[in-house]
Structure 1
Amino acid sequence: FDAATFGQGTVANSYIPKGALYHYADNLQRPYDPVKAKKMLADAGASDLKLNYVVNAGNEVDEQISVMLQQQLAKVGVTTTLQKVDPSQSWQMLIDG
């Protein structure tokens, strides 16, 4: 995390940032636990999972975070393919579903 944010970021436990209206400081926090995650996936019968992850090309922080996410998911058995696209293309992909 610090590598991508140069030590300036904080872990978000909500989509609503700290200091914003409706931010809830006591929001449920889930610590990073790949062993527990792997067990939960196995208990659910999920295996051989593959994920395509779209990231905005040219945004260095987004690209670094996507690589870290890919590495973390690999630890629990999820294969992630990173797809770097132009930001205008990613918005259109989101709209198209």
Structure 2
Amino acid sequence: MTDAEQMGFRALADPTRRKILQLLATNDMTIAEVAENFQMTRAAVKKHLTILNEGNLISVQVDGRSRLNTLNTTGLKQVFDWFGYFDEFWDSRLDALKSDIEKDMQ
């Protein structure tokens, strides 16, 4: 696993950051706009956004004093693909277990 992937998983570990990703899935937002959705300081929201950016899950475009945060679908796809591997792994293992149980029941 690359450092970027590890950072992405670290970013996803926090429920606040997952909620931020959900918000950014519908609209690009400034720090202030994201902060309006939480009962925390703007500085705390900025820290969450920094971790999401380091994890390659969002991108930030700076325009003067404004910072627009955008969902990075490429970074999310990498995380999704990694989870997909284990989803397939457990599906095949559970299918094999089901088959074994059904054989024993006959």
Query: Same fold per TM (> 0.5)?
Result: no
- TM-score bin, normalised by smaller chain: under 0.3
TM-score under structure 2 normalisation? 0.26
TM-score under structure 1 normalisation? 0.27
Higher helix share: 2
- Higher Cα radius of gyration: 2
